[in-house]
Amino acid sequence: MLSLEQLREIIPNNKEPDAWLMYINRLAPNYGIDTDLRMIGFLSQSIFESNQFNDLFENLNYSAKRLREVWPKRFPSVSFALQYERNPQKIANYVYANRMGNGDETSGDGWKFRGRGVKQLTGRNNYTAFANCIGKTVDEAAVYAGTKEGAIETACWFWKENNLSRFADKQDVVGLTKAINGGLNGLSQREYHWNKVKKVIKNISYDKEEVAETPDTPLQLTPLGYRDTGELVKRVQEKLGLSADGIFGRNTQQAVRNWQKTNQYPISGYLTVKQLQELLNV
């Protein structure tokens, strides 16, 4: 597990590293962030996106000049930009209108689904998918994303949903940045954070429990979630009364959420090792 001393070194300008540590250690491994390289990638990108976990809401308090620099096509003149200057809600509703599943400017979706969390989850589509994953309404998910726990879980979910481990495993900071940012904004700083975190994180235990092999359970149990494949997925599907194709798709995810609700587990759509032990009776 990540230690408090390590996290303090990684986010020295954050006043509550102990509060963040609990959620990182509890949530990250369940979303496939379960090796040193993956944790390095997750933390380094999150640190950049959230200013060391200090900024959980997107800052849209822009001057007219800055609006023209960030969105030159949307603010073609100074006079037009001045109509939005220093009005974050109005800016969000305009620049995010009719994008990412949001409605038009009058819908208020841009502001409602602005960036939140250490990953800055943005847009109705992302919030809806995240809400479906954890068993909340989209409105509940938006509020949750602004809490410490939700700030970490949204970032973990985004990591898993977009298979960002494939970049971290190859130490591909450029690919990871493009997948998160859509471009290379702040690449030099992201690389700096990667190298800094890499010096701190070494040989961390991610509490991946294993089950001894028996004739009835010849499988190693590891956390399981959306897009995972294999024999273990088939076993889960059989237990849930689904067609066992070995692909953890949306139907399997929904069945898992239903099982978690019935058995009073957090409704995440992802199965921990302990949950697998109960579900599979091993």
Per-residue tens of pLDDT for the chain, all 282 residues: 899 999 999 999 999 999 999 899 989 988 889 999 999 999 999 999 999 999 999 999 999 999 999 999 999 999 999 999 999 999 999 999 999 999 999 999 999 999 999 999 999 999 999 988 887 899 999 999 999 999 999 999 999 999 999 999 999 999 999 999 888 999 999 999 999 999 999 878 776 443 333 344 455 677 788 778 888 999 999 999 999 999 988 899 899 999 999 998 878 888 877 888 899 987
User: Which pLDDT belongs to residue 207?
Assistant: 62
208-282 CATH fold: Muramoyl-pentapeptide Carboxypeptidase; domain 1 (1.10.101)
Nearest to 164 by CA among 32, 7, 12: 32
Domain boundaries, the chain: 4-56+117-200, 64-112, 208-282
